[in-house]
Structure 1
Amino acid sequence: MTWAAEGPSGGNTYNRELVAALRERGVPVEVRAVPGRWPEPTAADRAALAAALSAPVALADAIVACAAPAEVAAAVAAGRTVAVLLHMLPSAEVGLAPAERERRVRDERAALAAASAVVCPSAVAAAEVARRYGVAARVAPPGARPAPLAAGSRPPRLLALAALTATKDQLTLVRALARLPDLGWTARLVGPTDADPGYAAAVRAELAAAGLTGRAVVTGPKVGATLEAEWAAADLLVLPSRTETFGLVVLEALAHGVPAVVGAGTGAVEALAAGAAGAEAGSAAPGAAVPPGDPAALASALRAWLTTPALREAWAHAARARRPRLPGWDLTAAQVLGALG
């Protein structure tokens, strides 16, 4: 059970890959995309969700379930299993008006309490759900598909792959890059620009004001072969999000042998540790974590990477070493089935 938006995102990728992995295990799956203005539904949108929850067992994306607690509760009371798949707490979106955030918190608390089970993609996210709402969530981290090894670029290419929103915080990256005009690099900001057009415009304006237009390019969304071309040219993923339940794009980076810089304290740190089991003792991590929203700290990490060949090679070697040890989606499917009982 998900919303009808089909644009590229980590949540949509997780849903699609999970469905494929469940079907490979012989589990019959019906995908029901519920139209509407989620997570700000109308009464008609909630009625459509109620009808979709008629199945005996439903795994509902939090973007819809957390906005319709009464419908979730009614389905469970009728004897049906409704598990919530929590890619992100809707109330954690940066920039919400206080009244809207309060509404989302209230609805999240009721929906998660009513659900038969809650599934999160990381231990960080599960701990946050427990802290906020006292709900014990199961953890089902995403998997990664094998991918071609990135060749990289000269000068080094930075890749930021996410929708341009305040939550993903590309402005912090732009402000960090503005502190590095003396170094050789290029950057690509890849992802949808229509989720928050005003924010996307602000990113472009700051790039222009900093004199970075041409060195750092906002490309819009990429999928398929055009996205693979971006990965092939990348040397470092930068994910400066203010909050992340996991950061599937980090797994995708490691699958391509690309290290990453992520936000400290977010689920992306957990993603950066994927495949670490079996690594050589004392081996380098495939990247680093920096405080979210801190352009100076991000600029310092990028300057160190750009000016220290040994550090670049250590991160790249660690990322390449993780590739054969990354989990597959079959494990994700097994963990979700366990949560569904």
Structure 2
Amino acid sequence: MFHLIEPDLGRISGGLRYNWAVVDAANGQLARHTLAGGWPEPSDQDIADLVHLIESVDGPVVLDGLIGCSLPTPVRAKVPILQLVHALAQTPEATRREQACLQAADAVVVTSHFAADELLNRHDVWAIVAAPGVAERPMAAGGTGGNLISVGAVEPNKNQVFIAEVLEELAARGVSDWHCTFAGPLNDAAYAHRLSNTLARLPGGTTTATGELDETELAAVYHQADLLVFPSHAETFGLVVRETTAAGVPAFVTAGTGSQEALGSGEALPLDKELWADALEQWLTDVQYRRRLQTVARAARQQLSYGWRATANTILEVLGSASTH
């Protein structure tokens, strides 16, 4: 039996959704264990609980990187350890821990070629790519172009305030007939307050903040969408970008991040408010441009590999190989 250990975050995240889909697709070959604690800033007790859990299992272990890459020193275990990296370190101390833990692992798996290249450049660590799968979705009904969505946890990295300020610029230009839905859990109270204050400056009725959504509610958001706006500072892949492609919806994402790899149709833009405002103004006012991106998105939807079995098989193959060495 193989094992996956992930953090109990008390909320949904892209990394956890990836884990759950892989476990489901592994057909009983991968047991999921949830570990409470202050990850990615573990206490001594959190680390002791992790060591105890690893010692109690009977086969190779997949460590979710939020746990595995946050340890001050690499975990020592009698069983092989596979590090599953969902997000790359962003601070010097986190980068030090990431390097030490990944170099000590028996194998490393990442969710994109972008992330694999980053780890090779940062740490001289070779990683295997297990790209996310995606569930089939109905073609989005959308509207006339103005149904914008921003999907992700409300926190600085997801950069929703940036989009709110871009929308403020659109309103100043007199561009109308748009509505943006911000969907995601409020991970950072101070940042959520800042976003709320920025949204309050926009014309009434042009935005909605939903908070955390379940899968059915999120599916409804995708179904009504015309365009995803996803200006993260850092992404290893961007699962929501792939999910909007499955609904035939284009996206604007941040250039130079992993979300560009997930992009089926749309634009990859640097984080410049004027450039984003220009792109959104063109999307909203240039029918031919909008229809061209929509046509590409619908074609990309037909080319997707649906389901998570291939992702699970990659991870299971790495675990099987590690268990024989």
TM-score when scaled to structure 2? 0.92
What SS does structure 2 have at the residue aligned with 1:178? Answer: helix
What is the distance in 1 between the residues matched to 2:145 and 2:289? Answer: 16
Contact kept, 8 Å, 1:158 with 1:186, in 2: the verdict is yes
The structure 2 residue matched to 1:321, chosen from 280, 291, 299, is: 299
What SS does structure 2 have at the residue aligned with 1:143? Answer: coil
- Report how far residue 207 of structure 1 moved: 1.4
- Report how far residue 71 of structure 1 moved: 5.0
Call closer, same or farther: CA 1:11–1:113 in 2, change over 3 Å.
same
What SS does structure 1 have at the residue aligned with 2:26? Answer: helix
Residue matched to 1:135: 125
Residue matched to 1:259: 250
Contact kept, 8 Å, 1:50 with 1:71, in 2: the verdict is no
Residue matched to 1:192: 185
**RMSD, matched Cα:** 1.4
What SS does structure 1 have at the residue aligned with 2:94? Answer: helix
Is residue 34 of structure 1 aligned with residue 41 of structure 2?
Answer: no
Residue matched to 1:291: 270
- Report how far residue 192 of structure 1 moved: 0.6
What is the distance in 1 between the residues matched to 2:7 and 2:204? Answer: 35
- Report how far residue 237 of structure 1 moved: 0.6
Contact kept, 8 Å, 1:188 with 1:219, in 2: the verdict is yes
Residue matched to 1:338: 317
Q: What does the per-residue CA deviation read over 1:188-244, in whole Å, with 9 as the maximum and x for residues that have no partner? A: 011011x111001101111113x3452022211111322222111110011100110
What is the distance in 2 between the residues matched to 1:225 and 1:63? Answer: 27
Residue matched to 1:65: 68
What is the distance in 2 between the residues matched to 1:65 and 1:256? Answer: 33
Is residue 205 of structure 1 aligned with residue 192 of structure 2?
Answer: no
Q: Which amino acid aligns with 1:140?
A: A
What is the distance in 1 between the residues matched to 2:188 and 2:52? Answer: 30
- Report how far residue 102 of structure 1 moved: 3.0
Is residue 21 of structure 1 aligned with residue 25 of structure 2?
Answer: yes
Contact kept, 8 Å, 1:85 with 1:119, in 2: the verdict is yes
Residue matched to 2:155: 165
Q: Which amino acid aligns with 2:228?
A: L
Question: For structure 1, which segment, 3-12 or 58-67, has the greater mean C-alpha deviation from structure 2 after superposition?
Answer: 3-12
What SS does structure 1 have at the residue aligned with 2:158? Answer: coil
The structure 2 residue matched to 1:11, chosen from 9, 15, 30, is: 15
- Report how far residue 319 of structure 1 moved: 1.3
Contact kept, 8 Å, 2:145 with 2:284, in 1: the verdict is no
- Report how far residue 174 of structure 1 moved: 0.8
- Report how far residue 143 of structure 1 moved: 0.6
Q: Which amino acid aligns with 2:221?
A: E
What SS does structure 2 have at the residue aligned with 1:32? Answer: strand
What SS does structure 2 have at the residue aligned with 1:53? Answer: helix
Is residue 242 of structure 1 aligned with residue 229 of structure 2?
Answer: no
Q: What does the per-residue CA deviation read over 1:69-107, in whole Å, with 9 as the maximum and x for residues that have no partner? A: 5352x11xx3x1111110002x32xxxxxxxx3332221
Residue matched to 1:88: 87
Query: Gaps (5+ residues) in structure 1?
Result: 93-100, 274-285
What SS does structure 1 have at the residue aligned with 2:314? Answer: helix
- Report how far residue 171 of structure 1 moved: 1.3
- Report how far residue 8 of structure 1 moved: 2.3
What SS does structure 1 have at the residue aligned with 2:180? Answer: strand
TM-score when scaled to structure 1? 0.87
What is the distance in 2 between the residues matched to 1:320 and 1:154? Answer: 16
